[in-house]
Structure 1
Amino acid sequence: MDRAGAPACPWRPQKGLPNKSGDAWCARWRGNRPIPRRLSTKFHLAVDGRGRPLSILFTPGQAGDNAQLLALLDAICLNKPGPGRPRKRPEVLIADKGYAHDSTRRTLRQRGIRHVIPERSDQVARRVAKGSAGGRPPALDKVIYKKRNVVEGCFNRLKQWRDLATRYAKRASLYRASLVLIAAVIWLPGST
């Protein structure tokens, strides 16, 4: 007996699209095409010198780091005791080679933010190929750059929480909420 099978493409609501509350699944789409069975997210952190989160940005996994830097810095707001405006600008920004773009360096200089970012090998080769027109290499204070591991330590502290490390929360808003809550616990006295 010949029976008709299941339709090749049954209709169902597509995953990755926002539901009625506007909450989407995390990073289900790349451009305009879905990525089947791959949920990836990335969170970007700015931390203070003691490894406590100052600002958190949450993006799909395919988002680049450099594009998020200025938004991450704009989200920093530290209230100091006493009168005065809250602090919005770091004394020095320590970042890895993922942020070593000329436009990023230019913007940080315009904002008056001192930065320690090593130069990528392709940038070195391009500068050397230009000869004397290539300019001087950006200064890199290696003593200050060694303190970049504080950020990695903060990531490790955040991932000690099982909910964050195993990604039980599949919705973007729930994942961000758990990340912010864990960051608040890190700021509590005695947790450092």
Structure 2
Amino acid sequence: MLTQAHGIPLRVSLTGGHNDVTQILPLVDGVPPVRGKRGRPRRKPRALYADRGYDHDIYRRRLRERGIVPKIARRGEPHGSDLGRVRWVAESAIAWLHGPRRLRTRWETRDDMHDAFLQFAHCMTLARKNPAF
């Protein structure tokens, strides 16, 4: 999941348990335009905060090539990077997605059905968090 700084989920994708890092670039590349105060809408984030599961040098390099500063915790280093003060926003958005009971426990055997319910929950979360809808 890719969220805005205020916790509004921008993109959601379904992956296997250990393949999250492979989806970091498609999530960033698929960011819809986000309106700011003035000017053209932003099409890419300034910085990307992630936990240790995304600590791979190749993805750090590719993010820098796109002009995005990666703020990713390093593996093997002690805690204290203060990323938890920023990452709780994403954890909160994930908790919003798991609100419907059907997504808390995966009952569907087909990926397309589970992805459909995930995208529907994403739409419901957007409708709740964004009063413009």
1:35-46 equivalences under 5 Å are 45-46=1-2
Among 122, 125, 131, which residue is 1:186 paired with?
125
Q: Which secondary structure does the structure 2 equivalent of 1:57 belong to?
A: coil
1:89-128 equivalences under 5 Å are 89-121=44-76
Deviations 1:114-170 (A, max 9, x none): 12112211xx6xxxxxxxxxxxxxxxx945552111111111111121011122333
Match of residue 53 from structure 1: 9
Match of residue 107 from structure 2: 168
Residue 64 of structure 1 and its aligned partner are, at CA, apart by 2.1
Higher RCO, 1 or 2 (CA under 8 Å, sep at least 6)? 2
Q: Which secondary structure does the structure 1 equivalent of 2:15 belong to?
A: strand
How many residue pairs match? The answer is 129
Task: Work out the CA distance in 2 between the residues paired with 1:67 and 1:116.
Answer: 17
One-letter amino acid matched to 1:67: T
Residue 78 of structure 1 and its aligned partner are, at CA, apart by 2.4
Deviations 1:10-47 (A, max 9, x none): xxxxxxxxxxxxxxxxxxxxxxxxxxxxxxxxxxx111
Match of residue 66 from structure 1: 21
Q: Which secondary structure does the structure 2 equivalent of 1:60 belong to?
A: coil
The higher radius of gyration belongs to 1
One-letter amino acid matched to 2:55: A
Task: Work out the CA distance in 1 between the residues paired with 2:109 and 2:88.
Answer: 29
Tell me, yes or no, if the aligned pair for 1:92 and 1:115 is still in contact at 8 Å. yes
One-letter amino acid matched to 1:150: V
Tell me, yes or no, if the aligned pair for 2:73 and 2:83 is still in contact at 8 Å. no
Structure with higher helix content: 2
Tell me, yes or no, if the aligned pair for 1:51 and 1:150 is still in contact at 8 Å. yes
Q: Which runs of 5+ in 1 are unaligned?
A: 1-44, 125-140
One-letter amino acid matched to 1:102: D
Q: Which secondary structure does the structure 2 equivalent of 1:59 belong to?
A: coil
Q: Give the alignment's TM-score, normalised by structure 2.
A: 0.80
Tell me, yes or no, if the aligned pair for 1:77 and 1:86 is still in contact at 8 Å. no
Task: Work out the CA distance in 1 between the residues paired with 2:34 and 2:93.
Answer: 21
Residue 60 of structure 1 and its aligned partner are, at CA, apart by 3.0
Question: Are residue 157 (structure 1) and residue 96 (structure 2) matched?
Answer: yes
